Amino acid sequence: MVLQPNKTLVACLGEALIDMFNLKKGQPLINASRFKAVPGGAPANVAIGLAKLGIKCAFIGRLGKDDFGFKLERVLSENGVDTTHILFDENTRTGLAFVSMIDENTQDFLFYRNPSADMMLSISDLDKAFLSRVSILHFGSLSLGAQRSREATYAAVAQVKKSGGMISFDVNYRRFLWPDKEKAIELFCEAIRMSDIVKVNEIEVRLISGEEDVQMGARELARRFDAQFFLTLGPEGSWFVSKRGFVHMPAFRVKTLDSTGCGDGFMAGLIASIVREGINFRSINLEKIKGALRFANAVGALVSTKLGVIPAMPTYARVARFLKNADNIEARS
């Protein structure tokens, strides 16, 4: 499938939920008393990030038929995301995630989804005709936690792949959502085998590869799977890891206010670059990969400078200005 920025359709499938941010930084949730409600959920964040970067994007998922669900649908729509594939569930609530920033790169999470509406997405909810037009389908591991949403996710993946589309998967491991670690690893590996693009962090590399050394673990993943891995390491930058090569891109130095969602920003920037540059993983151009990593790092860095992921997602023009300033600084140094 040839990717063209004005015609390519990206769909993000999975959870949209409300992040309840502890207003006091450095305080664990057990001591928190004041929160700010902010729309979130990794696939929803990526969808809005893509739309703000000028990429045509739709969101697929279930929301609770409640005020939080209505708010999420409105925020997605207001930010340019196609919301016609959202369903409202009368029997389950919109999910909540309580978040506390312990330090610049560490968060304390507590999820309320037992079950939440996103877990009730079913195969019958999917529009096969729509999915056949999707160029890139992006999803994360929270969709794999419940059998019903897992089956729907796999069905959507199969339909997009059948039509020649690309699959993007963010492992996005949350330990407290996976009481059975071995089951989590099994499902992550299953999803990786279905995917063309996989985002991982150092914890996830160690978990899936079984290697303590992150670089050795990343190489082991590249050996075991055909997917193209994008490894995010926060202040240490990011890596492209594949059977076909390795590329490192340093991080940008910014004043971090909130690192929650930097990975979602990175993912939005990466997919946007893949679309804009027409990157084809059947014939990899490492120079284009370097450019995609740099753009994705820039989006992730900009997201870290504000509280709340969605308000922090930058426009394409904002990223372009940021990169131009970075180029000027590098040229003077």
Predicted local distance difference test score (pLDDT) of residue 154: 99
pLDDT, tens only, 237-293: 999 999 989 999 999 999 887 788 899 999 999 999 999 999 988 888 999 999 999
Task: Flag whether 2 is in a domain.
Answer: no
Cis peptide before 115 (omega within 30 of 0): yes
Per-residue DSSP letters for 166-235?
A: EEEEE----GGG-S-HHHHHHHHHHHHHH-SEEEEEHHHHHHHH--SSHHHHHHHHHHH--SEEEEE-GG
**Where in the sequence is the domain holding 67, given as residue range(s)?**
10-332
DSSP 264: H
- CA gap 186, 188 in Å, rounded: 6
Report the predicted TM-score, pTM, of the whole model to 2 decimal places. 0.94
CATH no. for residue 29? 3.40.1190.20
| pLDDT for the residue 258 | 77
Does a structural domain hold residue 3?
A: no
In whole angstroms, give the CA distance from residue 126 to residue 124.
5
**Average pLDDT over every residue of 183-204:** 98
Average pLDDT over every residue of 126-155: 98
In a domain, 313, yes or no: yes
Is 130 a residue whose pLDDT tops 70? yes
Task: Output Rg (C-alpha) for the chain, integer angstroms.
Answer: 18
Is residue 1 situated within a structural domain? Answer: no
Q: Is the pLDDT of residue 4 over 90?
A: no
Residue 4 forms part of a structural domain: no
Q: Does residue 5 sit within a domain? A: no
Nearest to 266 by CA among 297, 228, 292, 290: 297
When the pLDDT of each residue in the chain is averaged and rounded to a whole number, the result is 93
What is residue 76's predicted lDDT score, i.e. its pLDDT?
98
Kindly tell me if the per-residue pLDDT of 196 is higher than 70.
yes
Rounded Cα distance, 315 and 49, in Å: 8
> Over the stretch 91-119, which tens digit does the pLDDT of each residue have?
999 999 998 988 766 778 899 988 999 99
Query: In which band, very low, low, confident or very high, does the pLDDT at 330 lie, cut at 50, 70 and 90?
Result: low
Residue 208 lies in a domain: yes
- CA–chain centroid gap for 118, Å, is 16
Q: Number of structural domains, the chain?
A: 1
Q: Which two tokens stand for residue 26?
A: 């450095």
Residue 1 has pLDDT above 80, yes or no: no
Whether residue 69 contacts residue 117, with contact meaning beta carbons closer than 8 Å, is answered with yes
Residue 297 lies in a domain: yes
Nearest to 95 by CA among 72, 76, 78: 72
Kind of pairing, strands 10-13 and 136-140? Answer: parallel
